[in-house]
Amino acid sequence: MATTGQKYRAQILLEPEQHKKLTEIAASEGRSVSDVVREAVAEYVVAKTQEDQWERRRRGLEIIRQHREEMLRKRGGKPIEIDVVELIHQMREERENELLSAIEDLARHRGN
């Protein structure tokens, strides 16, 4: 794994078995131990970042579930029954009426 750019020195202490395995991997791949360690760190950072994203999503879904349970509790266990398609049609019709009214007002003001 070739990288470019500035690098920072980090001193780490490894267990003897870890060092042995890293040395074996590096030798078998014709790479330096440092290169193998950098690759391992890069993979860990990606995995940890993805894990953090999944954890945030899981917490968000848990909050949504809690809100849903609270709403159901307040409504005596009855869910809100909404026809989403009808609601969208109603909102579009209201918006069209608002736009037509605004156009008519504009036409009246220009006509004067």
Domain ranges of the chain: 13-78, 82-112
Tell me, yes or no, if the pTM score tops 0.85. no
Q: Provide the residue-wise pLDDT of the chain in tens; the chain has 112 residues.
A: 455 689 899 999 999 999 999 999 999 999 999 999 999 999 999 999 998 999 999 999 999 999 999 999 998 988 888 899 999 999 999 999 999 999 999 999 887 6
> What torsion, rounded to 10 degrees, do the Cα atoms 20, 21, 24, 29 define?
-140
Tens digits of per-residue pLDDT, 62-87? 999 999 999 999 989 888 888 999 99
Q: What is the pLDDT of residue 69?
A: 94
